[in-house]
Amino acid sequence: MTIIKDTAKKTTDAVYPLSIGATVEGKVVARDRSSLYIDLGILGTGIIYGREFYAVKEVVKNLEVGDKVFAKIVEVENEEGYRELSLRDATKEISWTRLRELKESGQIVSVRVTGVNKGGLLTTLDGIQAFLPVSQLAAEHYPRVADADKQKILKELQKFIGKTLEVKVLDLLAEENKLILSEKAKSEEKTKEVLKNYSRGDIIEGQITGIADFGAFIKFPVSENKELTEDGIEGLIHISELDWQLVENPTEVVKVGEVVKAQIININNNQVFLSLKSLKKNPWEEVEKEFKKGDVIKGKVTKFSTFGAFVEIKPKIRGLCHISEFESKEKMEEMMKVGETYEFSVLLIEPREHRMSLKLVTK
């Protein structure tokens, strides 16, 4: 049960239907050891007593004169002329009103995780079932699953069962019994202020905090002495920004706990995107000077794919021998072996696109 404080909107003078089960709003005007009196305006005075009082005594003890509450009529008029009311029957109405106030105010509340599904965490707030999507978890709680396997994500989320998290109400719809929470929202305003001190092109030094199949997370400090702090900003280095060469697994380039320098390439919606390769010399800048169309060069086959063979011409420079140069994928794998070096003819060089097309030289 949740108390609706006097800051709530004023009740209109509209007359509620005086029938058993109708929900009414009123203000606490008096109390004694076993009764609570509610001013219902033009509807008269309501009373909560007897079984109804003791059923919600834990809630009642926190109510003060002037507090507003919702209640349901259980007796239109008793022998003493009071409207007999029940608080316990109005629990959901009270809770949804309180939750709307929480959403409007942006207040941070604590919830205990009671369950999980593949999409996020399950909990309750003011007795209402609530959902905290994975996308709304704080960066430090986001499941870092390398291959984005749903079962592995679920396993990571199960670690939160029983734990308490601080959240904000993100969205609610009482009619559909829908309540969505956000953990990351609590720090968004602070993050927004901090990011005003950074812009595209800035170089930061941070620590790799996690690795996923799509890239690496890096946390960088916001303190003047540039020490890593708990309230540091966490950004993402996409796999395509880790190195100039094709990266199949981010662990080839970085390790969790490693401290690296990176360049901010974009800041959008409180998210920071960074690059490691922008601070490294672009090896493709020299490719056009060193090779030209028609040259026969040596290269080592590093990988087969459905659209051809990747060939390493020099460190961090890979060309593609397209599948169309062969009768079939089987024929390509018959003519070449991964790890072996062969001669190739250069068909096309596009340094800006980091692309080189090759053809196997056969004898």
Q: What is the pLDDT of residue 290?
A: 87
In a shared domain, residues 290 and 319: yes
Q: Is residue 51 part of a domain?
A: yes
Over the stretch 158-179, which tens digit does the pLDDT of each residue have?
Answer: 999 999 999 999 998 877 778 9
Q: Is residue 330 part of a domain?
A: yes
Q: Among residues 135, 156, 188, which one ends one of the domains?
A: 188
Q: What is the pLDDT of residue 230?
A: 60
In a shared domain, residues 85 and 141: no
Q: What is the pLDDT of residue 264?
A: 95
Half-sphere exposure of 294 (CA within 13 A, CB side): 0
Q: What is the pLDDT of residue 145?
A: 67
Contact 64, 103 (CB under 8 A): no
> Is the Cα dihedral 246, 248, 253, 258 positive or negative?
positive
Query: Which H/E stretch holds residue 118?
Result: none
Q: What's 361's DSSP letter?
A: -
Q: What is the pLDDT of residue 314?
A: 86
In a shared domain, residues 56 and 111: no
Distance from C-alpha of 217 to C-alpha of 145, rounded to nearest angstrom: 12
Distance from C-alpha of 226 to C-alpha of 122, rounded to nearest angstrom: 37
In a shared domain, residues 81 and 110: no
The strand order across the sheet containing 178-182 reads: 109-112, 164-173, 178-182, 128-133, 120-125, 115-117
In a shared domain, residues 72 and 85: yes
Over the stretch 294-338, which tens digit does the pLDDT of each residue have?
Answer: 999 999 999 898 889 999 998 878 899 999 999 888 999 999 999
In a shared domain, residues 68 and 119: no
Q: What is the CA radius of gyration of the chain?
A: 32
Where does residue 340 rank: exposed (0-12), middle (13-18), buried (19+ CB within 10 A)?
exposed
Distance from C-alpha of 312 to C-alpha of 318, rounded to nearest angstrom: 4
In a shared domain, residues 133 and 158: yes
Distance from C-alpha of 184 to C-alpha of 75, rounded to nearest angstrom: 46
Residue 213's domain is classified under what CATH number?
2.40.50.140
In a shared domain, residues 217 and 183: no
Query: Which H/E stretch holds residue 154?
Result: helix 150-157
Q: What is the pLDDT of residue 315?
A: 82
Q: Is residue 18 part of a domain?
A: no
> Is the Cα dihedral 302, 307, 308, 313 positive or negative?
negative
Q: Is residue 76 part of a domain?
A: yes
In a shared domain, residues 290 and 272: no
Q: Among residues 48, 67, 93, which one ends one of the domains?
A: 93
- Joined tokens for residue 361: 């030289």
Site of tokens 């369950």: 115
In a shared domain, residues 301 and 348: yes
Q: What is the pLDDT of residue 146?
A: 59
In a shared domain, residues 258 and 204: yes
Distance from C-alpha of 311 to C-alpha of 165, rounded to nearest angstrom: 49
Region at 88 (left for phi over 0; alpha for psi -120 to 50; beta for the rest): alpha
Q: Is residue 28 part of a domain?
A: yes
- Joined tokens for residue 89: 């029957």
Q: Is 159 helix (H, G, I), strand (E, B) or coil?
A: helix
Q: Name the residue among 3, 95, 88 with its Cα closest to residue 52.
A: 88
Site of tokens 């007796």: 75
Q: Is residue 65 part of a domain?
A: yes
Contact 308, 323 (CB under 8 A): yes
Strand 203-212, strand 233-238: pairing: unpaired
Q: Name the residue among 282, 340, 284, 283 with its Cα closest to residue 309.
A: 340
In a shared domain, residues 111 and 159: yes
Provide block-wise average pLDDT over 10 residues at a time, the chain (363 residues).
37 55 89 91 92 82 83 90 84 75 87 90 86 85 70 86 91 83 80 82 89 87 59 86 85 90 90 92 83 91 90 88 90 92 92 87 82
For 267-298, b where at least 16 C-beta lie within 10 A, e where not — what string?
beebebbbbbbeeeeebbeebeeebeeeeebe
Q: Is residue 30 part of a domain?
A: yes
Q: Is residue 7 part of a domain?
A: no
Q: In which domain, by residue range, is 59 found?
A: 23-93
Q: Among residues 226, 257, 279, which one ends one of the domains?
A: 279
Number of compact structural domains in the chain:
4
Q: What is the pLDDT of residue 192?
A: 78
